[in-house]
Chain A
């Protein structure tokens, strides 16, 4: 700003450090650098003195020591003899699990509510506006607590399923909704390819990703044929086969079977357990963030000017194609960047897991481990580093996306 090029007037005077635009920015930066260095030196020396006075040092050795606490909800093997580091990794995976689940469902809720809010149906539009306002104006922490309370007070305890004439019965005989969580049939491989459980699942995911690229290849081929001959070949059965066949074959080969939960003693065993805190957090985050996404979706659709729709109609496109080929591509350009930052918010808000006792990274590393070892600085720094890495990765992808879809003008 304020770049003017005064002609040099004679020799250099000290006052020119402030008055001459050639030197002024250097002077200010030097002052800023000195102030910054002083601040860092001050804080650092305070830290060192305080640590020395408390007889502490900065060390990350505690990560290798046994943690001594159990975690109910976990994706990898872990018991109380595992190290604090392992507990932190369990926490990281739990954070990622609930974030990914909540991102998917929040998108569904948000898109539904956003589209319905623009519906010509007066009642539905008003209901959706009510949903959005209610959820946007009440803290997410209160929602998490309310939904967790609903789960624990409304659903029956496992003991209600006992006896000859139980108060509650399992859903279709295979799944039980209890106040401790949902017990569902869990998939088991009788003939696994890898000894470590999750590697098998990685294999399944890898095959699905292969199918995705295969299906895209087929679509590309169909488009090429269409360009050459003018007739698009029928490909849907190819696509279905590419999606289903490999993964079904792989699952059959690995001997997929279902482990159905059973009531033994006072609780269910076997099967797949989704703990109450996970469900409450998942649902609360999705329905809360869904309200914000609904507003983004509504804004995105409204941002496409009516002229676009009318122009498309004037070209003779049918209403479905107008939506798919003209409105949606332009609306997505507006919707997707704020959508991704909502995903980022979900990841950050998942740290409120600590309020309902879900063992995410904040509850393990920042909660129990911090309290047990007293290594506050190390734990909080690691915690911040984790969240920072995730946010920076996500913003990196936002930037790539924004550059890719930027309107190329002039």
Chain B
């Protein structure tokens, strides 16, 4: 084919694409789209930057000029030589008091530490379903080991408590398969039989020369107390909450009425009034000669409190199940306990997990309220013995910041776990 040469110029190759203008690439584009997309957005960005600068300009010198070695606030001030800085020495000097309270014997600190480490092993099979189910045995044994480690004294008490529960489980597994009611009653009877007989067998002097020195409950304190209250009350309140939720859904008017009254009453009053009850009122309801620890009374009231909230969360889960699930269970001929255990609760609990975790985080934060009834938890230690001491009078920010950071780490961790679990359990494909 002849080429028309009259044309002055014909491009035979393609022009290479030119790079996008600088305002449409890389950092500049990102800034334009995300920080300065409009006048209002630009103003917001500048205001935020000023606010961040203001906070950091105060916080960074304070953090980095911090003094870590001193025995009192005045020594701290001398060491800083007029600069602005934090006196983190209070944390190093009072570290043990912040974590364990001021009365827990210093030689025994390894016991709560060990209990905390074991807690991770005990919680793991519950939190991560992929682990082998056999590991749940650790979870079952853990409360008794932890009790023995923290309170010390004779190991016979926790051992008999454990044996009682083990017997109850054994009886229930054997009999409950055929007849739920018989297995249930038999389990309770077996547990009480072992507790009463075993309790009688423990000699009164068993705690005197025990392997671990006995520590009374009033010597517990610091962040350890918050962790203990949180872990105990959450794990006790989940089963009670589930029972209350089932009771509230029940077709028996009396049971439903009692559960509704209980849940609404507890949810209607602040936790602090329930702690007042634990502190000044609950003792009147125990038998005259008995002396029940303040710790146990507080555990009872906080458990009752969070059980009511968990009951509402679980009720939400039960209500969210389609009616067809209940009807399908009935049509298969399952009785009520079977239907609940095999069909309804596994689905309802899955729906309620995020809510239950929220309640648990809230409950853990609320354990700081025990400082109001003069128990020395982390906040109680800070407000009481440490800030009132002559050496550290006025070291507010370091102590409160430390407490805030501890709670933030734990609570944020739990809520991240909950979000992971939600993604993990999601069966709908959206």
A355 on the B face (CB < 8 A): yes
B269 on the A face (CB < 8 A): yes
Assess the A383–B254 pair: CB atoms within 8 A. Answer: no
Task: List residues of B (155-184) whose CB comes within 8 Å of A's CBs.
Answer: 181
A1 on the B face (CB < 8 A): yes
Write out the residue numbers on chain A whose beta carbons fall within 8 Å of the beta carbon of B372. 352, 354-355
Q: In the A-B complex, list the 10 residue pairs whose CB atoms are closest, starting with the nearest.
A: A391-B268, A376-B280, A137-B411, A122-B34, A348-B270, A139-B365, A388-B268, A351-B270, A29-B254, A139-B368
Write out the residue numbers on chain B whose beta carbons fall within 8 Å of the beta carbon of A119. 41, 44
User: Given A29-B252, A120-B41, A138-B404: A2 and B334 within 8 A (CB)?
Assistant: yes
Write out the residue numbers on chain B whose beta carbons fall within 8 Å of the beta carbon of A391. 267-269
Q: Known pairs A122-B35, A127-B48, A383-B269. 14 more at Cβ < 8 A?
A: A2-B330, A18-B181, A28-B255, A121-B34, A123-B35, A124-B45, A138-B408, A141-B379, A145-B383, A145-B400, A354-B372, A384-B273, A392-B264, A395-B264
Write out the residue numbers on chain A whose beta carbons fall within 8 Å of the beta carbon of B335. 2
A370 on the B face (CB < 8 A): yes
A174 on the B face (CB < 8 A): no
User: Given A137-B412, A141-B371: A32 and B365 within 8 A (CB)?
Assistant: no
B265 on the A face (CB < 8 A): yes
User: Given A124-B48, A142-B400: A29 and B253 within 8 A (CB)?
Assistant: yes
Task: List residues of B (387-430) whose CB comes within 8 Å of A's CBs.
Answer: 396-397, 400, 403-404, 407-408, 411-412, 415
* Complex partner residue of A142 from B33, B264, B368, CB under 8 angstroms: B368
A239 on the B face (CB < 8 A): no
What is the chain A residue whose CB lies nearest that of B288?
Answer: A49
Q: Is the interface of B mostly helix, strand, loop or mixed?
A: helix
Q: How far is the CA of A221 from the CA of B231 in the complex (A)?
A: 61
A380 on the B face (CB < 8 A): yes
Assess the B287–A46 pair: CB atoms within 8 A. Answer: yes
Instruction: Return the CB mask of B277-321 against A: 1 if under 8 Å, else 0.
Output: 100110111111000000000000000000000000000000000
What is the chain A residue whose CB lies nearest that of B33?
Answer: A120
Assess the B268–A387 pair: CB atoms within 8 A. Answer: yes
Nearest Cβ on chain A to B274's Cβ, whole angstroms: 8
B109 on the A face (CB < 8 A): no
Assess the B34–A51 pair: CB atoms within 8 A. Answer: no
Assess the B403–A133 pair: CB atoms within 8 A. Answer: no
Nearest Cβ on chain A to B334's Cβ, whole angstroms: 7
* Complex partner residue of A121 from B45, B339, B371, CB under 8 angstroms: B45
Give the one of A49, A153, A348 with max B CB within 10 A.
Answer: A348
Nearest Cβ on chain B to A210's Cβ, whole angstroms: 34
A377 on the B face (CB < 8 A): yes
Write out the residue numbers on chain A whose beta carbons fall within 8 Å of the beta carbon of B277. 380
Assess the A137–B45 pair: CB atoms within 8 A. Answer: no
Assess the B408–A53 pair: CB atoms within 8 A. Answer: no
What is the chain A residue whose CB lies nearest that of B344?
Answer: A1
* Complex partner residue of A2 from B280, B336, B365, CB under 8 angstroms: B336
11 contacts between A and B (CB under 8 A): A1-B336, A1-B339, A28-B252, A50-B285, A122-B34, A123-B49, A127-B52, A137-B415, A138-B404, A139-B365, A376-B276
Q: How far is the CA of A36 from the CA of B254 in the complex (A)?
A: 10
Nearest Cβ on chain B to A276's Cβ, whole angstroms: 15
A362 on the B face (CB < 8 A): yes
Q: How far is the CA of A391 from the CA of B263 in the complex (A)?
A: 12
Assess the A377–B281 pair: CB atoms within 8 A. Answer: yes
User: Given A46-B288, A47-B284, A138-B365: A387 and B35 within 8 A (CB)?
Assistant: no
Assess the A32–B255 pair: CB atoms within 8 A. Answer: yes
Write out the residue numbers on chain A whose beta carbons fall within 8 Å of the beta carbon of B403. 142
Assess the A1–B251 pair: CB atoms within 8 A. Answer: yes
B361 on the A face (CB < 8 A): yes
B366 on the A face (CB < 8 A): yes
Task: List residues of A (116-155) whose CB comes within 8 Å of B's CBs.
Answer: 116, 119-124, 127, 133-134, 136-142, 145-146, 149, 153
Instruction: Return the CB mask of B334-367 against A: 1 if under 8 Å, else 0.
Output: 1110011000000000000000000001000110
A83 on the B face (CB < 8 A): no
A225 on the B face (CB < 8 A): no
A3 on the B face (CB < 8 A): yes
What is the chain A residue whose CB lies nearest that of B181?
Answer: A18
Task: List residues of A (312-335) whose CB comes within 8 Å of B's CBs.
Answer: none
What is the chain B residue whose CB lies nearest that of A383?
Answer: B273
* Complex partner residue of A32 from B45, B252, B379, CB under 8 angstroms: B252
Give the one of B269, B286, B403 with max A CB within 10 A.
Answer: B269
Nearest Cβ on chain A to B77's Cβ, whole angstroms: 15
Instruction: Return the CB mask of A79-120 against B: 1 if under 8 Å, else 0.
Output: 000000000000000000000000000000000000010011
Assess the B408–A134 pair: CB atoms within 8 A. Answer: yes
Nearest Cβ on chain B to A369's Cβ, whole angstroms: 12
Write out the residue numbers on chain B whose beta carbons fall within 8 Å of the beta carbon of A4. 330, 333
What is the chain B residue whose CB lies nearest that of A146?
Answer: B400
Write out the residue numbers on chain A whose beta carbons fall within 8 Å of the beta carbon of B41. 119-121, 124
Q: How far is the CA of A315 from the CA of B104 in the complex (A)?
A: 71
Write out the residue numbers on chain A whose beta carbons fall within 8 Å of the beta carbon of B286. 46, 50
Write out the residue numbers on chain A whose beta carbons fall within 8 Å of the beta carbon of B339. 1-2
A200 on the B face (CB < 8 A): no
A277 on the B face (CB < 8 A): no
Assess the B284–A366 pair: CB atoms within 8 A. Answer: no
Give the one of B33, B34, B273 with max A CB within 10 A.
Answer: B273
Task: List residues of A (367-410) whose CB comes within 8 Å of B's CBs.
Answer: 370, 376-377, 380, 383-384, 387-388, 390-392, 395
Assess the A366–B254 pair: CB atoms within 8 A. Answer: no
Q: How far is the CA of A42 from the CA of B285 in the complex (A)?
A: 8
B272 on the A face (CB < 8 A): yes
B110 on the A face (CB < 8 A): no
Instruction: Return the CB mask of B50-86 against A: 1 if under 8 Å, else 0.
Output: 0110000000000000000000000000000000000
